[in-house]
Structure 1
Amino acid sequence: MFDFRGVEDAQTLAQAIVNTIHDPLLVLDERFSVLAASRSFYETFNVDAAQTQGRLLYSLGDGQWDIPALRTLLETIIPARTAMDGFEVEHNFPGIGRRTMLLNARQVVYAEKPGKTILLAFTDISARRLIEREKEVLHERTEDLLHQKEVLLQEMQHRVANSLQIIASILLLKARAVTSDETRRDLHDAHQRVLSVAEVQKHLHQSGGVDQIEVASYLTTLCHSLGSSMTGESQPILIRVMAQDGKIGSDQAVSLGLIVTELVINAVKYAFPYQKAQAAVLVSYEVSGSDWKLTVSDNGVGKDRTLSERAGPAKTGGGLGTAIVTALVRQLGAQIEMDGGNAGTTIVITRATFLSRPPSVD
């Protein structure tokens, strides 16, 4: 054990230890008078040793340390607990402004002599609290902006839904008013296309405005809507959907929905020119990673009818349905194939990202 030659040596060592501590530190006697203070205490609070040592803590400066919370710590909490960590005090200190301090206190009781000493350390967390408050304000502003965005999005969705309903209603009214069968047919087709877009908008609204749509429920609802509006008792046609679980972006969903709408409309209109028992259209969707395959098949007349013929009356360059499907398939980066045999017609649209590697020559 180190043998101190005198009290002065012990005090010198103690003061040196105090001065090496980074945070401000005070050593108080049992009556809360300052026995010693660290260099960082003087630097932080802009005071000197002559104005500090030997004086009552509460009377330092102009009474800036006569803080009710500090009195509670020293006079009530410390005697009962002996130690306290993280006692937070916010106060306006002359010369340095308002500060938030964490106080750590320890009571030292000596075995061989009466009295006690209190060690009081300060950690300035003003910058940390300022950052936290700024984060809280930013969080509140963000929440407010998100709420405003949600309100605007709901309002936009409501207006879009109303607009689509108005357009669909106008198209049906026009279809009833015209005398041309071809024009009436085109208006009915346009009505179905508007409904397919409306179905995407409806799913976006039900999903809380997110940009991802569940493919299975989307296609099921879309085809149910198409079946309800296009098939009748004279020729009942079952429209069935088999889709794997998965999500796609709303922009892709719009294109996919329009493609399905066109192909289902064509199947219902042209695959069953006469009564057929158990007439059916099957829509299937398979997915593997970023690759997917959409298949629309029917058990209708099939044979050698081409996609252009199935899309409507023969026109130069194909019908409108063909042009729409072709453009949307190209937009999705997919390929389209058609098989029109005696058992019906199958149209397959595939998006495959796999590229074969050319064989190497050894």
Structure 2
Amino acid sequence: MSSFNNSTSENGSSRGLSFELLFSALNASVSGIIITDNLQPDNPIVYCNSAFEKISGYTRSEIIGHNCRFLQGKDRSQRARHVIASAVEKGDSCRVEIRNYRKNGDLFWNELFMAPVKDQAGVITHFIGVQNDVTLRKKADLDLVEQKSIMEERVRERTSELKESEAFLSSIIQTVRESLLVLDPEFKVISANDHFFKTFKVNSQETVGKLLYDLGNQQWNIEKLKDLLIGILPTNNPVLDFEVEHEFPHIGKKLMLLNAYRIELEGQYKDRILIAIEDITDRREIERRKDDFLSIASHELKTPLTSIKGFMQMLKRLQPGDLPDQYATIFEKVNVAIERLNGLITDLLDVSRIQSGNIEIHKDTFDFDTMVKETIEQMQSLSSSHIIVCTGSSGLRVTADEQQIVQVLNNLLANAIKYSPDSREIYVHISRVSDYVKVSVKDTGVGINLEDQQRVFQRFFRGAEFQRKFAGMGIGLYVCEQIIKNHNGTIWLESEKNHGSTFNFTIPIEP
């Protein structure tokens, strides 16, 4: 909220004190409070208090710069969303109850009170939203509706169904290609599937009825596993993809992914613990070998490519002046192909450095707006098919690795051009949101479906449709995300199939 702080300093210490008290009060509120900037495109969030972070599960750096709709995730058809949009458009206040989703995916009901903030000229500059988690109240309302005479009948029906399907479920569990264990509250093994016995070279007599930590001469007495069962699981949150590495007798070192859940069904199944164990030892080794291959291959390719570039430069200096135009055209195409190959090898090297933890950041202070505009000018010179329109400004000098931020922007611009072959314009917007700078790169191209949006920043991921129509390796966005993460920023995507995509990133303004 630096814009508020600036006005404080201009109007004297007494007013500064009142603003400090105001923001202290906002931060102490048990209600979540956010402020959005109505004068910027898409009304981004520029302030949130601690209660809003707690309610949503997101940190401040993951909230600032987003539009409030990111809390609804894929749940976009709610009537409350239209009420909010209408209120923003008309500049009205509104009160709604809306389904939101925390960072871990949990649903919560949010009671939102939203009101506009106007300046002295009557222009709406901001919106303030006060939010309360009313999930328990909504749940109580639903419970009252359901607590009728049919409840007992439904319980009896479900109990009967469980008994009838017990054998069927047991056969399914035995065919699952993961090791499964069911424990009682004291961590004794109630049952295990055949895959567990085969993987860890044990039998039922050695396992069922035994304390987990005593299995196989205490080979399961693993500190990280104890932390999972004793420290994490009692919070009633499922444990997902908990990585454990351990040396087992007879079968050697194993790298495992553990997923654990507390089973809280009534009756004989109450308070049991289900643990699914996935052996990822071979998969991780394959990934390591692939990373080693990429590192070696990219380094080995870099050397001859550098020589080729040098020879091409020498040929250009030595070429006679009476050569036909066709020669110059072919020469230029070769240079373009060499630069494209050089870019691919550079991306591979970046992936290799990221995986090995050797990517370095060399921070310096530079004019952010100038950097963006110069990058756009360079990209524009290479693309005659599109026009890149730049709007907004931050007016800031930031401290970051300028070359890496240029690399991110170049990648986003290149993708916007590549994936919008039938449109002419690419839009770039620069802004300051709270103590972050934000860049948005928007195209009106093919867009990305919801399923692929969840994976676009994964290494080597490319949607099936894109693989058929567009060349690429699926590593550019992965590199972009890692660079922005290393700068303590966030990068995210908003897209709709056949209606284009907008990639946004923020990086903090370091003092």
- Give TM-score scaled by structure 2 length: 0.30
Q: Which has the larger radius of gyration?
A: 1
- Give TM-score scaled by structure 1 length: 0.41
